[in-house]
């Protein structure tokens, strides 16, 4: 078992699958519950896809670790500072543009949070880690110079559909 992983990968479509495989293996080694593992894998996939699609570097970085007890943190960097993107709400027939919407939905469903570094080069997501997960020792702390993009609070969510804001 390890406190996390930090890998650099080519900015290529095949890296999304590889990042998911590494994240799945790490979650398994930490006995992360299946439902939370599914959320981690989807978030890793969407953040990697965004970094590959919108970044201007030939590589991306993927990091998953425990910054404090009971908190799992996912970070994906494309190494290219830019204006942080916003959650989009594309038309129903659109095939693209839902990545950050899915990240927002998965983080909200797990009582987590997400956002971007101040320079927009790194996307991050924090999720609560259940006490029964075997990863118990947090990694060394790092300064956090990021901000959250989840400004709406639970009270602004549509009661009929928790993934829709009023």
The pTM for the full model equals 0.78
The conformational region for residue 17 under phi > 0 = left, psi -120 to 50 = alpha, else beta, is alpha
**Alpha carbons 140 and 49: distance in angstroms, whole number:** 28
pLDDT digits (tens, 9 = 90+) for 66-79: 888 889 999 999 99
- Token pair 């965004």 is found at 50
Confidence at 160, pLDDT banded by 50, 70, 90:
low
Confidence at 142, pLDDT banded by 50, 70, 90:
low
Confidence at 31, pLDDT banded by 50, 70, 90:
confident
Of residues 70 and 135, more confidence is placed in: 70
Centre a 10 Å sphere on the Cβ of residue 99 and count the other Cβ atoms it contains: 22
Residue 5 exposed, middle or buried by CB count within 10 Å (0-12, 13-18, 19+): middle
């Amino acid at each position: 078992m390890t406190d996390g992983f930090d890998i650099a990968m080519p900015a290529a479509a095949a890296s999304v699958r590889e990042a998911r495989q590494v994240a799945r293996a790490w979650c398994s080694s930490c006995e992360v519950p299946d439902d939370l593992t599914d959320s981690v894998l989807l978030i890793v996939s969407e953040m990697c896809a965004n970094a590959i699609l919108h970044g201007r570097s030939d590589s991306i970085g993927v990091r998953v670790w425990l910054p404090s007890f009971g908190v799992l943190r996912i970070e994906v960097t494309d190494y290219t500072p830019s204006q942080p993107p916003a959650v989009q709400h594309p038309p129903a027939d659109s095939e693209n543009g839902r990545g950050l919407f899915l990240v927002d939905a998965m983080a909200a469903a797990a009582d987590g949070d997400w956002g971007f570094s101040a320079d927009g080069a790194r996307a991050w997501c924090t999720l609560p880690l259940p006490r029964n997960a075997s990863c118990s020792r947090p990694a060394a702390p790092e300064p956090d110079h990021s901000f959250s993009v989840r400004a709406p609070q639970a009270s602004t969510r549509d009661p009929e559909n928790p993934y829709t804001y009023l």
